[in-house]
Amino acid sequence: MKTARQLITGVIPPLEPSESGINALGMMDDLRVSQLPIVKDEEFKGLISDTDILTLNNFDETIGNYPLSLSNAYVRENHHIYDVLRLFDSLKLDLLPVLDDKGHYIGSITLAGLIHHISGLMALDNPGGIIILEINEKDYLLTEIAQIVESNDARILSMYITTYPDSTRLDVTLKVNKIDVGAILQTFVRYNYIIKASFSEDTYTESLKERFDSLMNYLNI
């Protein structure tokens, strides 16, 4: 299980409240981020964004005096990676501060670092096949899906579910450790599963990895 503490990157220095707005913007530009944490004696004061600074339009003002639109944007160190993902998505962040149980700042998670960890969860570096099943919500049984895969001397490396608004339909995407998924597909059909798509060649896995590498290069520009 990945927790927030395990996702921290060491490249994000916090800002002191006495830092000026113009200096904060300069640090954001150097680090290629749109937000930075404000910390005083390990106490987290809030997350300041470039929008906060530009809106006030007083660049010599110390950031401790700025109204912060993201004052409560943080995650606790023991929170799961899914909590981290939810906050990144809902708040549209480049980075997320991590606090201990006493509210002390212990580091930040960057978007690029988070994506790197997600790639591990998706097993992008492992060769294998991809199977996408279309399932009604009430018919979804993870134990049965796993049993079908394992009955063909394979195992699930990663899995995720796609839901659709106003629908009980699910897309279940499986990454298995076999490149040739033909026998697995036949078994799913015997169990009356709908095969929405399948990819059984190394080229598909390599394509996913190439796209991930391209994204990481873009985020590190």
Within-domain flag for 99: yes
Q: Which of 73, 88, 118 is where one domain is finished?
A: 118
Phi, then psi, of 83 in degrees rounded to 5: -65, -40
How many domains does the chain fold into?
A: 2
Distance CA 83, CA 121 (A): 15
- On whether the CB atoms of residues 174 and 133 are closer than 8 A, the answer is yes
Q: Which long-range contacts (CB under 8 A, 24 or more apart) does 21-29 make?
A: 21/53, 21/56, 21/58, 21/59, 21/60, 21/61, 21/62, 21/63, 21/66, 22/59, 22/60, 24/48, 24/53, 24/63, 25/50, 25/53, 25/59
Query: Do 107 and 187 belong together in one domain?
Result: no
Query: Do 114 and 133 belong together in one domain?
Result: no
Side chain identity at residue 69, one-letter code: S
Within-domain flag for 61: yes
Query: Do 145 and 165 belong together in one domain?
Result: yes
- Using a 10 angstrom Cβ sphere, with 0-12 exposed, 13-18 middle and 19 or more buried, the burial of residue 188 is buried
Query: Do 132 and 39 belong together in one domain?
Result: no
Number of other CB atoms surrounding residue 128 within 10 Å = 23
Query: Do 53 and 106 belong together in one domain?
Result: yes
Host domain of residue 163: 126-214
Look at the block and give the residue holding tokens 């809902």: 90
Within-domain flag for 98: yes
The DSSP element (H or E) to which 105 belongs, if any, is strand 105-110
We report the CATH number of the domain holding residue 46 as 3.10.580.10
pTM equals: 0.65
Distance CA 61, CA 130 (A): 54
What count of residues does the chain have? 221
Query: Do 177 and 101 belong together in one domain?
Result: no
Query: Do 9 and 26 belong together in one domain?
Result: yes
Within-domain flag for 40: yes
Instruction: Walk along the chain (221 residues) and give the pLDDT tens digit of each residue.
Output: 678 999 998 888 999 999 999 999 999 999 989 999 999 999 999 999 999 999 988 899 999 999 998 878 999 999 988 889 889 988 989 899 999 998 899 999 998 888 877 766 665 667 788 899 999 999 999 999 999 999 999 999 888 888 888 899 999 999 899 989 999 999 999 999 999 998 875 555 555 555 555 555 555 54
